[in-house]
């Protein structure tokens, strides 16, 4: 329940755990299902000033194009607006 400033790394790890066993050898990558990692936080876990109550994060390029890899990270900030 404390902010250890590692939400992004934890999300990456949890997504990897979920996808690790989704496919068998030789199976098509298109068979991977979407994954959702949801954090319920009593604090703002990110080092940003904006106090959003809900943040939805997906993989995006620096140019603003979504990779559409099927990963979703939701951060629910109980102290947000």
Query: So where are the chain's domains?
Result: 1-19+35-81
For residue 17, what pLDDT is reported? Answer: 96
d(CA 53, CA 22): 31
For residue 47, what pLDDT is reported? Answer: 62
| pTM exceeds cut of 0.85 | no
For residue 80, what pLDDT is reported? Answer: 75
| Positions in the chain whose pLDDT score sits under 70 | 1, 47-50
- The H or E element that residue 75 is part of is strand 71-77
Structure token pair of residue 81 = 């607006």
44-77: burial string, b at 16+ Cβ within 10 Å, e else: bbbeeeeeeeebeeeeeeeeeeeeeeebbbebeb
């Amino acid at each position: 329940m404390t902010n250890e400033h590692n939400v992004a790394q934890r999300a990456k790890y949890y997504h990897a755990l979920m996808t690790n066993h989704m496919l068998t050898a030789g199976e098509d990558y298109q068979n991977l299902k979407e994954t959702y990692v949801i954090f319920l936080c009593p604090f703002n876990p990110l080092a940003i000033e904006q106090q959003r109550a809900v943040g939805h994060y997906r993989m995006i390029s620096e140019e603003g194009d979504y990779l559409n890899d099927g990963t979703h990270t939701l951060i629910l900030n109980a102290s947000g607006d």
